Homo-oligomer: A and B are copies of this chain.
Amino acid sequence: MADINSYVALELHKNISEDAISWLIAKIQADKMEHGCQLNISSRKLEDEKTLALVSASDFRKRVGAEIFGIKKKYNDGSMREFNMADQHNFIGYLDDDFITESEALYIIKSELDLLRATDDDGHIPGHENIRLYPGKSILRKLKSSNLLTNIACLHNPTKLDKLGMGWYKNKSLTLEQPTDEIHSYFGDSITMYFSFLGYYTKALIPLVVFALPFYLTSSYWGQVESYSGYAMLNLIWASVFLELWKRKSAELAYKFGTFQKREWEEPRGSYRGPLGINPITGKQEPSYPDWKRKLRICFITGPIITLCIMSAVSLMFYYFSWDAYFAAKYDKVGTIMSKLLRNIPSIVYSVLVLAANLFYRKLAEYLTDRENHRLESSYQNFLITKIVLFDFVNNFLCLFYIAFVYNDMKMLCRTLRNLFLIQIIISQTMESLVPYWTYRHRVGDTKENKENDEPESQAAIDLKRDIYSGTFDDYLEMWLQFGYVVMFSCVFPFASILALINNVIEIRSDAFKMCKVFRRPDSLPTRNIGAWQVAFEIISYLGVISNIALIFQSEGFQKWFYTQDSSADAVTLLIAFFLAEHSLLAVRYALSTLIPSVPEHINIAIARMKYRSLQALKRQRSASLPPSEMLRKKLHLLRAKAARSNETNESTSE
Contacts and interface: CB of A to CB of B under 8 A. Distances in A.
A281 B608 contact: yes
Contact of A611 (B95, B265, B611, B626): B265
Interface string A264-283: 11000000000000001111
Contacts of A454: none
Interface in A562-594: 570-572, 574-575, 578-579, 583
A291 interface: yes
A545 to B, nearest CB: 12
Contact of A574 (B264, B575, B629, B632): B575
Which one of A281, A611, A633 has the greatest number of beta carbons of chain B within 10 Å?
A281
Contact of A639 (B89, B264, B554, B611): B89
Categorize the interface residue count of chain A.
Answer: 35 or more
A54 B291 CA distance: 55
A345 interface: no
A639 B265 CA distance: 35
A535 to B, nearest CB: 11
Interface string A223-250: 0000000000000000000000000000
A473 B574 CA distance: 41
A622 B617 CA distance: 14
A89 B63 CA distance: 41
Interface stretch (A80-88, A168-176, A320-328, A477-485): A80-88
A643 B281 contact: no
Contacts of A605: 280-281
A144 interface: no
A214 interface: no
A516 B169 CA distance: 75
B612 A291 contact: no
Given A281-B609, A570-B571, A578-B575, A291 B601 contact: yes
A26 interface: no
A217 interface: no
Contacts of A572: 554, 571
Nearest to A282: B612
Nearest to A291: B601
Nearest to A84: B622
A64 interface: yes
A160 B535 CA distance: 53
Nearest to A611: B264
A384 B571 CA distance: 41
Nearest to A639: B95
Interface string A595-633: 000000100010011011001000000100111010011
Ranked nearest first, the 8 interchain pairs of A and B with the lowest CB-CB distance are A571-B571, A281-B608, A264-B611, A281-B609, A575-B575, A280-B605, A86-B626, A60-B633
16 contacts: A60-B632, A85-B629, A86-B627, A88-B632, A95-B639, A95-B643, A264-B608, A264-B611, A264-B615, A281-B612, A282-B612, A554-B572, A570-B571, A571-B575, A575-B578, A578-B579
Given A85-B632, A88-B632, 5 more contacts: A63-B636, A84-B622, A86-B622, A86-B632, A265-B611
